[in-house]
Each structure stands twice: as C-alpha cells, then as structure tokens.
Amino acid sequence: MPERTEKMTLSSVASGEVVLKAIWGGRDLKARLYSFGLTPGSRFSVLCRDGCGRLVIRVRDSVFALGSGMAEKMEVDQTPVPRPKCSDCQ
C-alpha cells in the first residue's frame, strides 16, 4: 500500500465531480467499492451530503449512499478532467 500523506478525501467534498485516486482501506472495503464501479481513475459525482457525514454519489447510472468512514478512506481529486468529445458534438 502506498505511503499515506495529506490528501483530499471524499469526506471533504461538498458536491461536484471527482476522480478516485486511491482507496486507503482493506480488502473488504476495496471489494465493496469495486462492486459499485469505484476503481482508481473512475469519475463520479457527489450529489449531496447530510449533516451526519453520509454522502450520496452517482457512479455512471447508479446512485449510492456512503458512510463517512468509507468516504474518509477514499482519496479523490476534484480538478476538472477534460472529457473526450464525440464526433456528434463537434
């Protein structure tokens, strides 16, 4: 597992699109997140959060709720990532 330094975690994101950089958890957490389609490099949106730390996210066409413990173990990047343009949009 890579060395953990101060990184942006999903728990610090209020809303918007992010890219998953790393998962700082064990085998069970990784397997659960992978089953949602959350793998390093995947792009997803934070839709909302409640006052207790739970987040609602959209991964492709699915919506999931994550607890604050899971969100704290997910390193993300919120910098805009350019999307490729399709030939129909040009």
Span 30-45, average pLDDT? 95
- Read off the pTM: 0.78
- The number of folded domains in the chain is 1
Alpha carbons 31 and 38: distance in angstroms, whole number: 9
Residue 59 has pLDDT above 90, yes or no: yes
Q: Where are the beta strands (DSSP E) in 1-90?
A: 16-23, 43-49, 55-59, 62-66, 74-77
pLDDT value for 35: 94
Domain range enclosing 18: 10-80
Name 51's bridge partners: none
Q: Would you say residue 4 lies in a domain? A: no
Asked if pLDDT for residue 40 goes beyond 80, the answer is: yes
Give the CATH number, domain containing residue 52.
Answer: 2.30.30.90
Query: 72 in a domain, yes or no?
Result: yes
